[in-house]
Amino acid sequence: MTTPPYQPGYPQPGYPQGVSDKSKIIAGILGILLGTFGAGRFYTGHTKIAVLQLVVSVVTCGFGALWGVIDGILILVNGGTDAQGRPLRDS
């Protein structure tokens, strides 16, 4: 038996279904501007990481905000995923 050819619109086995409705540009900008509060991660649905970013920023008296800035830049450059594992859309 052979594998059927790729058909657009149908999910492929082992891959998340489609592209996220969240924008990587918005997630990146939120990460850069409001990374102290974990806003970029809250936006994408990664609440555990967002809360951790917030706690680290509070415990380190704001120095942990650097994590959010770097995270936002990485999302803009490399893209990212939402909480369901789907890639963020480009626009």
Domain count, the chain: 1
12 in a structural domain: no
8 in a structural domain: no
pLDDT at 62: 87
pLDDT at 54: 95
Q: What is the pLDDT along the chain (91 residues), one digit of tens a residue?
A: 565 555 555 555 555 578 999 999 999 999 999 999 999 999 999 999 999 999 999 999 989 999 999 999 999 999 999 999 999 999 7
19 in a structural domain: no
Distance CA 37, CA 69 (A): 11
How far CA 28 is from CA of 11, 32, 63, 79, 89, in Å, comes to 27, 6, 19, 9, 12
Stated pTM of the model: 0.79
76 in a structural domain: yes
